[in-house]
Amino acid sequence: MARLKHTKVIWIAATALVYYFLAHFGMALFALKPGNITLLWLPSGIALVMCLHWGYRSIPFIVLASFAANFSGMSASSGPGPFLHTAVAAIADGMVGIIAMHSFKYFLPNGLTRTHDLVPFGLWVCIVPTSITSIILSINLAVGGYISWAETENFFLMLVLADSLGILLVYQVYQGWHDDGKMSRAELNWLAGTTLVMAVLLTLGFTTLPGAVFFIVPLLLVLSFNVNLFGVATISSVSLMSIIVATAHNAGPFEVTDPADSNFRLMAFVFSSALTILGIALQNRQLTSIERSSELWKDAAEHDPLTGLINRRAFLPRLQNEHQRALRTGNTYTFAMLDLDHFKSINDAYGHHCGDAVLCALAAVMVENCRSIDAVVRMGGEEFGILFPECHIDEALIALERIRKRFESSSTMADGKLIFVTVSIGVAAFAGAEEKDTEVVERADRALYAAKAEGRNQIVVGL
């Protein structure tokens, strides 16, 4: 237990270091005066992840990391009490993680999984918590003399968007990594190609063709249909962060004469774009999950759970298709019915577990001795069927005799004893255009009953 707690503390401390370095990363790349206020505050997203993982235990680490990252910038001001104001800012940074965590757990108890979750996530997890702490931060900056009271409104809006963006960009990458971090080769190829095109668009957008930046959003939309959430979230976050960095260095389409207006336009664009891409990615993941579930249910509905063979429900459409093809091409097909001999006595003597083993053994022998195009089906109970497409009855009889002999010579272990079981087979071939597919099955079924009546463990051809 002590070792577990020690490991947890190490992880919290390591994540707090990530918080600290991301704070410096933000201040270095897109800082405004004073130096500790940025257009994008990624540590707010780290704070949410830390609080979701470790709860209130992470607060002291967040506060210390924030204080260490902010103190150098705030101590450069001529305002009174830089230590106190830095401490207030650090506590506010800790508060945003806790408030966002509680909002997340209350409004999104099942996590961020559907497009319907975007509104509560954007409002209650991103905007509301950051609005509360941004009020504290703005007043703290004004009281400390870092900004004038007239600037507090603009700084408040900027702080809300900067912190909200941090939560949105970091959390979408975290959830993508947590849910499905592994990517297939095809997804990696898509990711590499998109990254290359993205780099070209960003280069053009911040050099000679500013409007090229706006093609990033449709490119990310295309990516969201071909790559999992982790890949989309990562590329989305990196590309949108690149736009913020370039704008902070006076490049790109968001540069206007009024810096406050420029910053607001930029962050509104980035926030809405990130939210849109995340929504599309979630919707695509939800649709993919529904398709997979549908395929699993369809597979379960069409297969016998004991033997793994297709069942009557899946078999009948195949028989109908083969019958129609035979009518069009003039070819023939053969159908065989197989039934275990004295199966009820096996169940009575050895139990149903032994009966199940015998059924599986026959299914395995049938599959091993049939072609890949043949349809092996469990019709129900101890009855099985085999559809031989484009196969004359003489060829089918060779395969069926091989199955009969192999099964006759095989054995099944029951209560420490080896038991041997035989199988009776009735077979019929498609006779021509005048015959229906159901009539072929009926002839094979009558032949099976004839095989039973004539002594079992034999093959009878239906006429």
304 lies in a domain?
no
Residue 123 shares a structural domain with residue 256: yes
CA distance 6 to 10: 6
- What is the CB neighbour count within 10 angstroms for residue 70? 23
Residues 384 and 411 in one domain: yes
- Is residue 133 included in any domain, yes or no? yes
Query: What's residue 36's pLDDT?
Result: 46
**DSSP conformation letters of 314-368:** HHHHHHHHHHHHHHHH----EEEEEEETTHHHHHHHH-HHHHHHHHHHHHHHHHH
Q: Domain end: 297, 326, 356, which one?
A: 297
Tens of pLDDT, residue by residue, the chain (463 residues): 455 567 888 999 999 999 999 998 888 776 654 444 577 899 999 999 999 999 999 999 999 999 999 888 777 655 557 889 999 999 999 999 999 999 999 999 888 888 888 889 999 999 999 999 999 999 998 888 888 898 888 889 889 988 998 999 899 999 888 887 788 889 899 999 999 998 998 888 888 887 888 888 888 888 888 888 888 888 888 888 888 877 777 777 776 556 666 666 777 777 778 777 787 777 777 767 767 777 788 888 889 999 999 999 999 999 999 999 999 998 999 999 999 999 998 888 888 888 899 999 999 999 999 999 999 999 999 999 999 999 999 999 999 999 999 999 987 776 677 888 999 999 999 988 788 999 999 999 999 999 999 999 999 998 7
Domain boundary among 245, 273, 297: 297
Query: Do 88 and 176 belong to one domain?
Result: yes
Give a yes or no: residue 73 inside a domain: yes
In this structure, are residues 167 and 43 in contact, taking their beta carbons and an 8 Å threshold?
Answer: no
How far apart (Å, rounded) are the C-alpha atoms in residues 353 and 323?
37
Segments in 225-311 forming alpha helices (H): 229-248, 259-302
HEC readout, 372-431: CCCEEEEEECCEEEEEECCCCHHHHHHHHHHHHHHHHHCCEEECCEEECCCEEEEEEECC
d(CA 409, CA 412): 10
Please name the amino acid found at residue 364: A
Does 166 share its domain with 277? yes
User: Which residues touch 284 (CB under 8 Å, ≥6 apart)?
Assistant: 224, 225
Q: What is the pLDDT of residue 428?
A: 95
- Whether 255 and 342 map to the same domain: the answer is no
Q: What pTM was computed for the model?
A: 0.66
Give the contacts of 353 (CB within 8 A, at least 6 positions apart).
none
Q: Are residues 269 and 320 in the same domain?
A: no
Task: Tell me how far apart the alpha carbons of residues 261 and 109 are, in angstroms, rounded to a whole number.
Answer: 37
At residue 149, what is the residue type?
Answer: W
- Say whether 382 is catalytic: yes
* CA nearest to 167, candidates 103, 116, 231, 115: 103
Q: Which of residues 297, 324, 352 is at a domain's end? A: 297
Does residue 250 lie within any of the structural domains? Answer: yes
305 lies in some domain: no
Q: What is the per-residue DSSP string for 69-131? A: HHHHHHHTSSSS-HHHHHHHHHHHHHHHHHHHHHHHHHH-TT-S-SGGGHHHIIIIIIIHHHH
Has residue 253 been placed in a domain?
Answer: yes
Per annotation, catalytic residue among 153, 368, 382, 383: 382
Half-sphere exposure (Cβ direction) of 462: Cα atoms closer than 13 Å: 22
Whole domain around residue 271: which residue ranges?
Answer: 2-297
Residue 303 lies in a domain: no
**Whether residues 285 and 350 fall in one domain:** no
- Does residue 318 share a domain with residue 254? no
* Nearest residue to 235 (alpha-carbon basis) of 266, 265, 274, 209: 274
Please give the structure tokens belonging to residue 427: 């077979």
The CATH number covering residue 328 comes to 3.30.70.270
Q: Do 410 and 280 share a domain, yes or no?
A: no
**CA-closest candidate to residue 283, choices 108, 115, 121, 122:** 115
316 and 240 in a common domain: no
Distance of CA 370 to the CA centre of its chain: 37
The answer to whether residue 192 is domain-embedded is yes
Q: Are residues 399 and 346 in the same domain?
A: yes
**121 & 252 share domain:** yes
d(CA 267, CA 251): 15
Q: How many domains is the chain built from?
A: 2
